[in-house]
Amino acid sequence: MRRAALASLAVLAMVAVGCGGDDDEGGDAAGGGSGETLTVWNNEFQPDRMAATQEILDEFTEKTGIKTKQVAVPEDQLPTLMTNAAAANELPDVVLATPTAQSQQYAAEEIFDSEAAQAVIDKLGADTFSQKAIDLISRDGVATGVPSDGWGQLLIYRKDLFDKAGLEAPQTLEDVQAAAEQLNGDGLAGITLATAAGDGFTAETFEHVALAEGCQMVNDAGDVTFDSPECVEALRWYGDIASNYSVKGAQDVDSTRGTSFDFSLAAYQAAMDGLGVALGRHALVAPDLKAGRLVVPFDFKMSSDAAYYLVYPPEAIRRRKIKAFRDWIVSLADVKQEQPRAA
């Protein structure tokens, strides 16, 4: 269970030498502060979460007179940005929602101020935190950051599709795989799950599968046991279901939360089935509009720079059948076609 907590715990960290703040000249008489500005990096970079955090920062400014500058930092970009900021001596003052592993790393590199974090915990009272959370973020008995929040991964399924297919609510990984296999096809992926390499969301998703298989990546003695039969089976299950029943390509926290289609006709069909609204090219949806299978919800059209092109080698136009086909398709499109130059 230790690894599950590790994947689901975030910390607030104070940087050892905060060089990112911009000091304004003079003080803020209205707020009573010194005119300092704290630069705050936030790994919770989604707009709604940034807005919620900004409300908290605004309350801080109102009480202290110290301004804040919140910067969105996607989790997968944090290592690169932190390395660059440290090299340029432009580190932020505070980093929010830092994964525990990175908090430990940056404390070891003396980028994060462990003493400042421990002072916050001592002032608030260690008994106000989960002891397991403190254990996870501590290094040599000193906190590398302040535990701030935790979360869990949820398996969400379409009840209407399950009912239509006669499937019960999934209780085990075997149930999940059986449902994904049965629902997969006809433009619909049986499941979507994270597969983007190096992305924290992929690790978080897989770790819950690993726990379900009884996989402990590190034993109580601190030995790495990632090659245990349970972990090997978890990797096999995850790879199999992602390869055979999920959406192709690298999937991340954003793409797994939306419906996607491999081709536009599947999106149009989904709209006709009542699953939502689709954007479509008029030439492709015109028959469905005429037949009443689709309707235009409002009188608004957008032009696109994208186009289809008829391409062929320059010398091919010398062949009569190629020229005849070119002339025919151009006449259908009713556009002017620039004559290619012969080789």
Q: Which of 147-151, 231-235, 307-311, 333-337 has the highest mean pLDDT?
A: 231-235
Find the range with the poorest average confidence among 2-11, 88-97, 254-263, 325-334: 2-11
Q: Where in the chain is the domain with CATH 3.40.190.10?
A: 2-150, 159-257
Greater pLDDT, 30 or 46:
46
Say how far apart CA 156 and CA 263 lie, in whole Å: 24
Greater pLDDT, 26 or 220:
220
Question: Looking at residue 335, what is its pLDDT?
Answer: 52
Domain at 2-150, CATH class: alpha beta
Q: Is residue 143 scored above 90 in pLDDT?
A: yes
What pTM, to 2 d.p., does this model score? 0.55
The predicted model gives 47-65 an average pLDDT of 93
Question: Looking at residue 114, what is its pLDDT?
Answer: 92
Q: 159-257, what's its fold?
A: D-Maltodextrin-Binding Protein; domain 2 (3.40.190)
